[in-house]
Amino acid sequence: MRFSGPCVEAPDVPALVRFYERFLGWEVEELVGPRDDRPAGWGWGRLRPADRAPGHKIEVQWQEHYRRPVWPGAPGEPTMQWHLDWWVEDLEAGVAWAIECGAEEAAPQPPDRDRSRLRIMLDPAGHPFCLWT
């Protein structure tokens, strides 16, 4: 058995697939949707890096009842179930690139973490991810 990569839910599959395509420079291996006979944002997609390394893929699937996670967690609100960590050589450049691609920097950042080494970001669907160096 080996890990093949995560599948995240989203209210707008094409938009989130295109975000990760630009942000990571990965290739869209498959994108199904949108379709006229389905709700806006419907679909499924898979991205992989150019080298197609095993265990390196992200899938995005439509969820009709998707609710954006709340960061930090709050009682009665959908919370982050898990997150992806992305190592970058230059944290400030990585944060700027993520924002240019459509992410936002999470607020607040954890007070017990070194902001020069780690930043929590939110993708366009609200999924938290970390940039670290």
Considering only CA atoms, which of 102, 95, 88, 89 is closest in space to residue 120? 95
3-class SS of residue 87:
strand
**Mind listing the domains of the chain with CATH numbers?**
7-62 (3.30.720.120), 84-132 (3.10.180.10)
pLDDT in tens, the chain (133 residues): 888 899 999 999 999 999 999 999 999 999 999 899 999 999 999 999 999 887 799 999 999 999 999 999 999 999 998 899 999 999 999 999 999 999 999 999 999 999 999 999 999 999 999 999 9
The kind and range of the H/E element at 122 are strand 118-122
Residue with tokens 């009709």: 64
